Structure 1
Amino acid sequence: MPVGDSQTIGSAGEHTWRYRLWQHLRDTYGGPFTLVGPRQELYDKATDTATSYEYADPDFPRSHLAGWGEGWLHMAPLIGEATRSCRADVLLVALGLIDLGFYTNAEQTAENVRRFISNAREANPRIRMAVLPVIPNIRAVDEPDFGEQVTLFNELLAKSVADLDEPRSPLLLASPPVSYDINLDTYDGTHPNASGEEKVAGAFAEAMWQGWGIGQAYAA
Structure 2
Amino acid sequence: MVATYGWDRWLSLVLAIAVSLSTLSSSAASAAVLSASASDRSTAEQEPIVHPSFRAMIVGDSMSQGKDGQYTWRYRFWQYLRSSVSVVTPQFVGPFNGTFLDDHNPNTVFHMKGKYAAGVDPEFLAGSCAHASAWGRPLSWSELTIAGWVKVHQPDWVLLMMGFNDLSWMGAAADELMEHFENDCPAPELAKSVTREHLVNVTEQYNRRLIGNITRIEHKGEPSSMIKLVHLNRVYGCQPDYCPDGWDGLHPNEDGEWDIARAFSIAMVEMGLTEKAIGNCLID
TM-score range, shorter chain: 0.7 to 0.9
SS at match of 1:197: helix
For residue 93 of structure 2, the aligned residue among 30, 36, 42 is 36
* Highest RCO, 1 vs 2 (Cα 8 Å, sep ≥ 6): 2
How far apart, CA to CA, are the structure 2 residues paired with 1:114 and 1:194?
33
Deviation of 1:6 after TM superposition, in Å, equals 0.6
Amino acid across the alignment from 1:96: G
Change (3 A) 1:154 1:41: same
Residue in 1 aligned with 2:26? none
Change (3 A) 1:208 1:86: same
Task: Please identify which structure carries the higher strand content.
Answer: 2
Amino acid across the alignment from 2:273: G
Residue in 1 aligned with 2:78? 22
Deviation of 1:58 after TM superposition, in Å, equals 6.0
Change (3 A) 1:177 1:153: closer
Contact 1:79 1:116 in 2 (8 A): no
Change (3 A) 1:116 1:16: farther
- Structure 1 unaligned spans of 5+: 118-139
How many pairs are equivalent?
Answer: 197
Task: Please identify which structure carries the higher helix content.
Answer: 1
Amino acid across the alignment from 1:145: H
Change (3 A) 1:106 1:192: same
Amino acid across the alignment from 1:101: S
Change (3 A) 1:190 1:210: same
How far apart, CA to CA, are the structure 2 residues paired with 1:20 and 1:116?
33
For residue 131 of structure 2, the aligned residue among 64, 70, 90 is 64
For residue 97 of structure 1, the aligned residue among 148, 164, 171 is 164
For residue 180 of structure 2, the aligned residue among 112, 115, 124 is 112
Deviation of 1:168 after TM superposition, in Å, equals 2.1
What RMSD over aligned residues (CA atoms) do the two structures have, in Å?
2.3
Contact 1:15 1:55 in 2 (8 A): yes
Deviation of 1:184 after TM superposition, in Å, equals 1.2
Change (3 A) 1:14 1:215: farther
Deviation of 1:116 after TM superposition, in Å, equals 7.6
Residue 143 (structure 1) aligned with residue 196 (structure 2): yes
Change (3 A) 1:184 1:45: farther
Deviation of 1:180 after TM superposition, in Å, equals 3.0
Change (3 A) 1:85 1:215: farther
Residue in 2 aligned with 1:131? none
TM-score by length of 2: 0.63
Change (3 A) 1:215 1:20: farther
Deviation of 1:164 after TM superposition, in Å, equals 2.1
